[in-house]
């Protein structure tokens, strides 16, 4: 079969149209990907335990020292983005005489001058377990990411931020 000049012109026009469509689709894909990458990250909003006792409440000050966090340990690892990730772990002990059904904890990385390098607040109870009875313990894990590799990481701390009782 021999193609005539008109058939050959139609095939060329058809191929050109396909390449134009593929090119436009590729440009749209690259533009969409560029937009997604360039968007700022969502703000890191700390969780907030509802209906809880907080600093400044007389009852919070009475109980905060009875919720102890000890046996602090840290695990750190470099990330693919060139920063550091740390997991802070502590044992939470309830000596309040009451069952805790809400506990908010802040984990901090501090330098040798006791300045906060990075911190994060999490809700341990009810997220890790539904409640913590009096004279019982639970583990609190706080993951902190995007830590500069050059930042001095001299120590770790964990504080009770909010308490809610059953």
- Predicted confidence band at 2 (pLDDT cuts at 50, 70, 90)? low
**22: DSSP letter:** H
CA trace torsion 19, 22, 25, 26 (10° rounding)? -100
In the chain, where are the structural domains located?
Answer: 1-39, 53-165
- Tens-digit pLDDT profile for residues 16-51: 888 999 999 999 999 888 888 777 665 666 678 889
- Tens-digit pLDDT profile for residues 49-96: 889 999 889 899 999 999 999 999 999 999 888 899 999 999 999 999
CA dist., res. 16 & res. 4, Å (int): 19
Q: Which fold has domain 53-165?
A: Immunoglobulin-like (2.60.40)
Q: What angle do CA 41, 80, 148 make, to 5 degrees?
A: 70
Return the closest-CA partner of residue 111 out of 156, 75, 71, 160.
156
């Amino acid at each position: 079969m021999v193609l005539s000049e008109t058939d050959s012109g139609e095939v060329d026009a058809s191929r050109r149209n396909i390449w134009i469509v593929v090119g436009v689709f590729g440009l749209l894909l690259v533009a969409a990907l560029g937009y997604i990458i360039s968007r700022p990250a969502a703000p890191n909003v700390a969780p907030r335990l509802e209906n809880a006792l907080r600093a400044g409440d007389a009852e919070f000050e009475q109980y905060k020292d009875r919720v102890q966090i000890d046996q602090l340990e840290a695990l750190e690892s470099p990330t693919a983005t060139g920063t550091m990730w740390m997991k802070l772990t502590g044992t939470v002990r309830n000596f309040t005489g009451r069952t805790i059904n809400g506990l908010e904890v802040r984990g901090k990385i501090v330098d040798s001058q006791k300045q906060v390098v990075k911190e994060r607040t999490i809700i341990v109870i009810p997220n890790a377990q539904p409640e913590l009875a009096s004279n019982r313990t639970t583990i609190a894990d706080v993951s902190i990411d995007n830590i500069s590799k050059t930042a001095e990481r001299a120590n770790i701390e964990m504080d009770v931020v909010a308490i809610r009782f059953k």
